[in-house]
A = this chain, B = another copy of it.
Amino acid sequence: MEPGTPDHMIREDCAPRRVLALFDAKWTSMVLHVLATHLGGSARTGVLERSLPGISKKMLIQTLREMEASGLLSRHNHGTVPPAVEYAVTPLGRRFVEPIDLLYNWARANADALDALVARPKSSRR
């Protein structure tokens, strides 16, 4: 039981790392958040695009399809013309909304801490 004994190791296949993988998709959590928390659970492509300033059409579609593939979203094509496609949060997806919103709310409530992270004017260098 030496001090350096790592019983606290973050195994490579542990749950936390799997969650992080969710976030390095960069848009996944935002899509889920906007869709579930601000758009009532479902929305059309265009609405999503306008809700996420800065996202490219390519990334939007790509993200949506990946999320559909993993079961976070469902996709419904109305088959009309012009096209109307609706993406909805699945029950599985809904389970992920909780931690995401928690994180987002923390962020909003702690904007000061985030500012400190960037603004390091008078540094403590060495």
Contacts and interface: CB of A to CB of B under 8 A. Distances in A.
Contacts of A69: 120
A18 B52 CA distance: 14
A108 B4 contact: no
A96 B111 CA distance: 12
A117 B15 contact: no
A114 interface: yes
Chain A at the B interface: mostly helix, strand, loop or mixed?
A: helix
Interface residues of A, number: 57
Contacts of A110: 15, 95
A10 to B, nearest CB: 6
A20 B10 contact: no
